[in-house]
Amino acid sequence: MKLRWEPYTLDLKTTFRVAHGASDQRNNVLVYLDEGVGEAPAVPYYGETQEGIIEYLESVPDLGEDPFDIETVLARRPPGSLAARAAIDVALHDLWGKQIGQPLYRLLGLNPANLPLTSFTIGMDRPAVMAEQARECGFPIIKIKLGSEFDEQIVAAIREVTDAKLRVDANAGWTRDQALELIPRLVSYDLEFVEQPLAVDDVEGYFWLKEKLLASGVSSPIFADETAKTSRDVVKLAGAVDGVVVKLMKSGGIREALRMIHTARAFDMQIMLSCMVESSVGVTAAAHMAPLCDYADLDGPLLISNDPYSGLRYDGAKMSLPDGPGLGLVKRSPH
Ligand code: MG
């Protein structure tokens, strides 16, 4: 199987701000394995750069000739860039589906009618600007990026203009004490859950926070994102959080993302499937697993203006999977 790649710059419709930076563009890499395609998102926050991803891909040895021997092929990937490892895994699954002539969801034994609705993400800005975006987007589920000094004002301003379900994501932006002080105030605005309130490596803090919140009668579900990268992290967090956020780029691909989902289920944890700023390639790949998940945050393609492929379709928050073989992607003609 021939591995090749193509650097690709995604243009964002609006500047995207989270607790750890802002961007107008993302320099991802499209990865091909014969006629299979995957995407490696270069997320600076995770230490991934376009150059680093390409350097990794140059170091990958021959992956063999059998796309059906998935575990063996994936084991040939050297350690290193998780984004690139995920892209190879996704391209392999796409190739597998194309050779069998079936969509990936069918090969995974999943019903494409059972997709959760997706949220729409509002990046960090002044409270009034975020409230205006929340009103304008018209989505029934809104994910709010927090981690600024105005967090309560932001949630209050957005709640004032919409009845949508609200989820908040602090992106590891709070200390333990800030989280304990803010969460009870924020849940009074009726939140679905709070994502990644604490620092990435503060697993102990999640147990501490859970106990403190329960003691004060606050029962807002807490989800771990950055702290839950693989199935091993799910085990460490069992009992401390109510749910985990699964992303292909953290897990290194579909194979490990499935293990993460099943591990979380074994501990009665909920699952949100999410994405980075990535095109229809990475997001459609994730969406093929969405029937296994409770929540979806798969708005990547809605945030960019130059998607190289079409795949997952949106009717507002309702998503539908393409039914072509593999990921079901179709290349868009360049403008
Ligand atoms: Mg998150």
Per-residue pLDDT tens over the stretch 289-309 = 999 999 999 999 999 999 999
| CA–centroid distance, residue 97 to ligand 1 (Å) | 30
Cα 143 from Cα 133, distance rounded (Å): 11
Q: How confident is the model at residue 248 (pLDDT cuts 50, 70, 90)?
A: very high
Question: Is 288 in contact with 248 (CB distance < 8 Å)?
Answer: no
- DSSP tag of 149: T
* Cβ neighbours of residue 94 closer than 8 Å, sequence gap 6 or more: 33, 35, 36, 37, 38, 104, 285, 326, 327, 329
Tell me what pLDDT residue 17 has. 79
Residue 334 has pLDDT above 80, yes or no: no
Question: Both ends of the chain: CA-CA distance in Å?
Answer: 30
Structure tokens at 215: 């003691």
What is the SS3 assignment for 34?
coil
158-169 burial, b at 16+ Cβ within 10 Å, e below that, comes to bbeebebbbbbb
Tell me what pLDDT residue 16 has. 78
What is the SS3 assignment for 19?
coil
| Residue 218 falls in which region: left (phi positive, over 0), alpha (psi -120 to 50) or beta | beta
| CA–centroid distance, residue 66 to ligand 1 (Å) | 36
Q: How confident is the model at residue 15 (pLDDT cuts 50, 70, 90)?
A: confident
Q: Where in the chain is the domain with CATH 3.20.20.120?
A: 107-331
CATH of domain 3-101: 3.30.390.10
Quote the percentage of the chain above a pLDDT of 90.
94
Chain centroid offset of residue 66 CA: 29
| CA–centroid distance, residue 172 to ligand 1 (Å) | 9
Q: How confident is the model at residue 335 (pLDDT cuts 50, 70, 90)?
A: low
| CA–centroid distance, residue 130 to ligand 1 (Å) | 17
| CA-based nearest residue to 154, from 119, 120, 189 | 189
Strands 141-145 and 120-122, how do they pair?
A: parallel
CATH class of 107-331: alpha beta
Q: How confident is the model at residue 170 (pLDDT cuts 50, 70, 90)?
A: very high
| CA–centroid distance, residue 92 to ligand 1 (Å) | 26
| CA–centroid distance, residue 69 to ligand 1 (Å) | 33
| CA–centroid distance, residue 325 to ligand 1 (Å) | 30
State the pTM of this model.
0.96
Q: Where in the chain is the domain with CATH 3.30.390.10?
A: 3-101
| CA–centroid distance, residue 228 to ligand 1 (Å) | 10
Residue 23 has pLDDT above 90, yes or no: no
Q: How confident is the model at residue 20 (pLDDT cuts 50, 70, 90)?
A: confident
